[in-house]
Structure 1
Amino acid sequence: MSRPAAPLAALTLLLLAACGQLPTSQGLTPQVDAPAFAALAPQALSSSAADSWRQQVIYLALPDRFHNGSVANDNAGQPYCFDPAWPTKFHGGDLAGLRSKLGYLKDLGVGTLWTTPVYAQVPEVNPRTSGASCGYHGYWPDFRNPSDLAVEPKLGTASDLSGLIADLHANGMRYMMDMVVNHAGYGAAVTRSNPGWFHPDCSGDDVNCPLAGLPDFRQEDSTVAAYLTTLSKNWTSAYAIDAIRMDTAKHVPLNYWQGSWVPGVLASRSNTFLLAEAFLTGGASQLKPYLDAGFDSTFNFPLRNALVSAFAKGGSLDAVAGSVQDYVGTLGLSRALLTVNLLDNHDVPRFLNEPGYGVPEDEIRRRCHLGLAALFTLPGIPQLYYGNELGMYGGADPDNRRDMPSWAWTSSGRSGTYSGFLPNPGLTYNLVQKLAGVRRNNPGLWKGSYAELWRPNGGTNVFAFYRGYSDSTVGSRLVVAFNNSPASASVTVNIGANTAISSADRTYLASRTFDDLAGQGAPATATSSGGLLTLSLPAKTFAIYRAR
């Protein structure tokens, strides 16, 4: 195991490795030598299952930072790792806490709960130094043998995990388990029992070099590959999970996914939704190989960068229009609708921190609400990060992993003013709740085609698009528009001449009244005539117009 000698340097690397992920900007998609595994065709997600996932809203929670449901386990497991005042140690949140707050998530409109890994973690790293840290985040697993399914004691027990999943299912919700096969935790038991299973120290190679000194598995070795795949299969056999979020996917050979892990896991639990975390920001062409290797979806980090550039930083919406054109065009609509879109997560600064110093909070709120609206209306599955719905601030890791506040659970609590949050967090909570309902009740937003209607092209900072399909269902045809400029704006879009929209839909929309579902200050209705539709929006707002 490689560990930095200096505590401060160690802390920097440990924080970067806390989710085992570092961003690659415009880099090449990792490639490997000739496949070392038999060519096995990954089992595709069924059509009905794919449609059901397109309807989801995913919510990421770090169990340790969400809610403490049982103080009895605070000091369980590894010693010296419970300290609520220490940013990189356990704070007391647990699986029992999540179980007790499922009503909050369901009321918000969440369909799938994704938790960071629940594996038992290695002992305190860099003990008794200023760089001391523990695996509160779950990404430093103390792997032993594939049949060892130990849950981190500070998070609870196997019974707590089974109970959480059962409660989710009873509420019509789903559970996404976070898994790791790229690396083990610092000094994990498996590194001592099988030291030959790991790559030597090196740098400059995403696949074969350790990430921040974490012991890096040699998946090209068939014994190691079998160990890791069996490990994942045992978790899918033991628990009724619905999905897997795979950490650090870009740091693992592509042929391991296609030849071992994907077919192995799907043989254990068919129709499991497989989501790859490939932290690549250069464009959809970098994400496509992971879909080709058998994953159902990837996180849309290129779009996330565009949303930050346009909305959080007040830039041109050309960035967003271009990113959507890229991922829909490169991946195709079917795959694009399964792509997971996000504003932030536990690896990047929170969206609210991106505007920088000196931006008034009212303006930050407007930018935040524009970003959230894009998340729920663009092609793909929206992913919330705990606290997004409350206007939570947070800088780089670990500041972006603050504790969920105790006042969050009630509407009266969300009406106050608190340090580290936008004033009156209930305004943002209510918007998220509304957007989730609009998306759920208007299938054009989760399964409809996409057609760009307007982009700035260096001019008026308005972006408009069509989402829909030919059907008599209410909510099958919608026009969404964003005005990111500091002044009101009006644009006229030519639906009738837009060949990206089906002929049947162009005819239907040529002379039609549209009702705004967003209620953010735009006119309550808009009417098309001769295929032309004029959209008028106040400054820094959006509209979601549903065709009657």
Structure 2
Amino acid sequence: MRGKRVLALLLLPFLLFYSLPVQAVEKEDRTWQDEMIYFIMVDRFNNGNFKNDFQVNMNDPKAYHGGDIEGVTNKLDYIKDMGFTAIWLTPIFKNEEKGYHGYWTEDFYEVEEHFGTKEDVKKLVEEAHKRDIKVILDFVVNHVGYNHPWSKDAEKADWFHEQKEIANWDSQEEVENGWIYGLPDLNQENPDVENYLIDVAKWWIQETDIDGYRLDTVKHVPKEFWNEFSKEVKSVKKDFFLLGEVWHNDPRYISQYKEAGIDAFVDFPLYEQVSTTFSKVDQSQQNPYDVWKRNQAYYENPYLLGTFIDSHDTVRFTRKALQNKQHPGTRTKQALSYLYTSPGIPIVYYGTEIALDGGEDPDNRRLMDFRTDKEVIDYVKNLAQLRAELPSLTRGTFDVLYEKGGMALYQRTYKDETTLVAINNTSSTQVVDLEGDMFGEDKQLKGLLEEDIIRPVDGQYKVALDREKTNVYVVTDKKGLNTPYIVALVVVYVAFGLFLFLARKRRKKSS
């Protein structure tokens, strides 16, 4: 028995060495396009402090439900374990009554008391940074709450645009000056307003060490303001990230705000196509891919776009799948497969990992449930691991090799690493033939999401995939007999035999 243990110890280093995949590309410095963002509506995520649970009514979808900043901190390990490298929180500033969502600001310098304190925010950021997780806060500069004290102050009348709803959404002037849902619209052309908003934005960075802002309602604020805002906040912290919300389906319109110093934008055109394509089977993947081709034409760095399948402003992806009489877990896995393997920064709305259901606002903001099936969670972990380990999935080219009726093969290439992504979005098993020399001589495809090895047969790779499945293959050198491995085994066995021989000889001599 002791001899077997010794043999196992001798073999272990060799077995480990030869079982690990070869990393084709050296690990480079992490950039924002390498991140994976988990988006949290603070009030609906996790209750960490019951002492701030006043005016909580979980039966009212428009009331506070008890989630808070401490609750987010308590779940950082859960978030980390799924592979997320950044979190985005809905606004945490003090809101007026029933402003559970955070978009009705009452005081920019105070934390909403239902959510906690500034010290809770600082602790969250500190704990997140210990886990190598970045923190993005939602920031609203377009408007304030319905009853904000400024709106009652005659001396601050010029802090707001004239009360008027937007009638013509094609008029940029109306879009920037009109009131949305009756919320008092701030006049950023007023230097006092501009200075106040910029100062408070810089203050939160200095006080809490956050890493970025998600900028709400960007198109409703003049570009001149964003230029100054971007320059000032980025002077406070190196690599501070600005992610803009420009709700529009034309990338030409969205991309013009890059000139205002905003780093990236949430990709609404892609959302429309991905959520439609993957919420049912037998749908062509050409439309999502066409969005990528357009993005390349209009954005300086389209890899920074935030990609998503649902959010706090849309119906849940699960609801779309259910409306199409589809299994939401399977559909969610397929949609996330596309997000994690295509260019862009995946943004996953809390609850997506448990296929949480929800219709229009506020039904799409249900309380998170941590006691559900882990099937999608485990799948997200696997996707995140691949995306973290393969630079080609975050920085590589993105080319479609095959697409027919929902079965698609995409090639991602970065430096010496080539990845093949196969997504079968159909209701039947699919087999696709690829030319055997297209990746070079003596190559094979190694499946990582589903274990598989594909070598050329009769001059062709046959990529076979079950219905509603995805696999990610890395192109590696074809392996025949592993001579170094065999030699190493022989050496180990000879050494072990010699060890036994000498041990017996020693025993005989002593006896």
| TM-score under structure 2 length normalisation | 0.82
Matches within 5 A, 1:78-93: 81-93=55-67
Matches within 5 A, 1:248-397: 248-258=217-227, 260-282=228-250, 284-314=251-281, 315-332=283-300, 335-357=301-323, 359-361=325-327, 364-397=328-361
Conserved 8 A contact 1:142-1:190: no
CA shift at 1:371, angstroms? 0.1
Residue of structure 1 in register with 2:159 after alignment: 197
Residue of structure 1 in register with 2:100 after alignment: 136
Alignment partners' CA distance in 1, 2:298 and 2:220: 22
Conserved 8 A contact 2:446-2:453: yes
Aligned-partner SS, 2:93: coil
Report the identity percentage.
30
Residue of structure 2 in register with 1:240 after alignment: 209
Letter of the 2:398 partner, please give it. Answer: Y
Aligned-partner SS, 2:321: coil
Conserved 8 A contact 2:57-2:64: yes
Conserved 8 A contact 2:343-2:398: yes
Residue of structure 2 in register with 1:165 after alignment: 125
Conserved 8 A contact 1:74-1:92: yes
Q: CA distance change for structure 1 residues 327 and 533 in 2, over 3 Å: closer, same or farther? A: farther
Letter of the 1:199 partner, please give it. Answer: H
CA RMSD of aligned residues (A): 2.0
Letter of the 1:234 partner, please give it. Answer: W
Residue of structure 2 in register with 1:9 after alignment: none
Alignment partners' CA distance in 2, 1:446 and 1:378: 8
CA shift at 1:268, angstroms? 2.3
CA shift at 1:533, angstroms? 4.1
CA shift at 1:242, angstroms? 0.7
Residue of structure 1 in register with 2:393 after alignment: 445
How many aligned residue pairs are there?
439
Residue of structure 1 in register with 2:472 after alignment: 544
Letter of the 1:484 partner, please give it. Answer: N
CA shift at 1:528, angstroms? 4.8
Aligned-partner SS, 1:232: helix
CA shift at 1:252, angstroms? 1.0
Alignment partners' CA distance in 2, 1:172 and 1:540: 34
Instruction: Choose between structure 1 and 2: higher helix proportion.
Output: 2
Q: CA distance change for structure 1 residues 509 and 307 in 2, over 3 Å: closer, same or farther? A: farther
Aligned-partner SS, 1:244: strand
Q: CA distance change for structure 1 residues 524 and 83 in 2, over 3 Å: closer, same or farther? A: same
Alignment partners' CA distance in 2, 1:340 and 1:533: 34
- Of structures 1 and 2, the larger Rg is shown by 2
Matches within 5 A, 1:44-59: 51-59=30-38
Aligned-partner SS, 1:149: strand
CA shift at 1:188, angstroms? 0.8
In structure 1, runs of 5+ residues without a counterpart are: 1-47, 76-80, 125-133, 415-424, 497-505
Q: CA distance change for structure 1 residues 494 and 265 in 2, over 3 Å: closer, same or farther? A: farther
Over residues 216-244 of structure 1, what are the superposed CA-to-partner deviations in whole Å (9 max), with x where a residue is unaligned? 11122233222222221222222201111
CA shift at 1:366, angstroms? 2.2
CA shift at 1:290, angstroms? 1.9
CA shift at 1:120, angstroms? 0.3
In structure 2, runs of 5+ residues without a counterpart are: 1-27, 169-173, 477-511
Matches within 5 A, 1:193-232: 193=153, 194-200=156-162, 201-203=164-166, 204=168, 205-232=174-201
Over residues 373-431 of structure 1, what are the superposed CA-to-partner deviations in whole Å (9 max), with x where a residue is unaligned? 011100011111111111111111111110112xx1xxxx43xxxxxxxxxx2111110
Conserved 8 A contact 1:275-1:299: yes
Over residues 92-151 of structure 1, what are the superposed CA-to-partner deviations in whole Å (9 max), with x where a residue is unaligned? 1111111111111111111111110110001x3xxxxxxxxx1111110013xxxx6110
Conserved 8 A contact 2:271-2:310: yes
Aligned-partner SS, 1:177: strand
Q: CA distance change for structure 1 residues 403 and 164 in 2, over 3 Å: closer, same or farther? A: same
Alignment partners' CA distance in 2, 1:199 and 1:270: 34
Is residue 115 of structure 1 aligned with residue 89 of structure 2?
yes
Is residue 516 of structure 1 aligned with residue 484 of structure 2?
no
Alignment partners' CA distance in 1, 2:253 and 2:321: 27
Alignment partners' CA distance in 1, 2:102 and 2:459: 53
Residue of structure 1 in register with 2:433 after alignment: 492
Conserved 8 A contact 1:510-1:529: no
CA shift at 1:360, angstroms? 4.5
Q: CA distance change for structure 1 residues 346 and 340 in 2, over 3 Å: closer, same or farther? A: same
Letter of the 1:490 partner, please give it. Answer: V
Letter of the 1:347 partner, please give it. Answer: D
Alignment partners' CA distance in 1, 2:158 and 2:298: 40
Alignment partners' CA distance in 1, 2:226 and 2:445: 46
Over residues 497-533 of structure 1, what are the superposed CA-to-partner deviations in whole Å (9 max), with x where a residue is unaligned? xxxxxxxxx6x545410111112xxx71223589964
Alignment partners' CA distance in 2, 1:470 and 1:172: 26
Alignment partners' CA distance in 2, 1:216 and 1:513: 59
Letter of the 2:88 partner, please give it. Answer: W
| TM-score under structure 1 length normalisation | 0.76
Conserved 8 A contact 1:510-1:530: no
Residue of structure 2 in register with 1:399 after alignment: 363
Alignment partners' CA distance in 1, 2:289 and 2:441: 24
